[in-house]
Chain A
Amino acid sequence: MITVLFFAGIKEEMGLDQLIVEKDNITVLQLKQYFESEYPSLSFNQCMTAINETFVTDEEIIKDQDTVAFIPPVSGG
């Protein structure tokens, strides 16, 4: 079981800020593909990903109890 967090445009597209997903031992890329197939209007193009508040690449394995955050291009400052 993993927790997935959404922000900015993705959060608005999803209509919620987090979701519990019954998956683990999959890569970040596989999780993105899962969401893109379940929610066809979503796009993770240029989106970064963090696991437990640390930036990771698409190859990173997501483990049970991890918190995954999809980070669209940031615009602070």
Chain B
Amino acid sequence: MEQNLFKIVRHPISVEDVTNQVSRRDAGAITLFIGTVREFTKEKRTLSLEYQAYESMAVKMLSQIGEEIKHKWPDTWVAITHRIGKLEITDIAVVIAVSSPHRKNAYQANEYAIERIKQIVPIWKKEFWEDGTMWVGDQLETTEYAKGKPSKGE
């Protein structure tokens, strides 16, 4: 297995490289999630984005998500690469690849990964609009954690 399955990078992400990290002879399916920079959110036009991370902790949290997935879907392999820095419209911000012997687990684990990223991985997005900028939070609208910290997952 390749090293560094969970990475924060500052350069464009190669979808093929992330895919290859989970490729194996006993997999019958690989699912890919490719998160890209969207131009319009409702009426608002995004010109570009800047992602910032608490890098060491972000890698640790991505690895934790990997552990959670291993626990829930033991026959999967997971690789996640997230890009930070300045990104343009249509650029790839994140790639999640999951392989499994049968497709169902790969689909489920992949969706779980992106949902968890939006909860616990310390990465922030700054939107640049025609009329200003803002650090975006609250994408899941679940930022009010009862205990002041996110749940552990499973």
Contact = CB atoms under 8 A, between A and B. Distances in A.
Interface of A: 5, 7-9, 11-12, 28, 46, 48-50, 53, 55-58, 69, 71-77
Contact of B145 (A8, A48, A69, A76): A48
Contacts of A76: 51, 53, 58, 82, 93-94, 117-118, 121-125
B: contact size bracket: 35 or more
Contacts of A7: 52, 54, 122, 124
Contacts of A46: 137-138, 143-144
A75 B136 contact: yes
Nearest to A73: B137
B150 interface: yes
Contacts of B117: 76-77
A58 to B, nearest CB: 5
Interface string B118-145: 1111111110000000011111000111
Contacts of B126: 8
Given A48-B150, A72-B135, 11 more contacts: A7-B52, A8-B137, A12-B135, A49-B149, A50-B54, A53-B57, A56-B148, A57-B149, A69-B122, A75-B135, A77-B93
Nearest to A58: B148
B24 interface: no
A7 to B, nearest CB: 6
Contact of A50 (B114, B119, B122): B122
Contacts of A74: 118-124, 137, 139
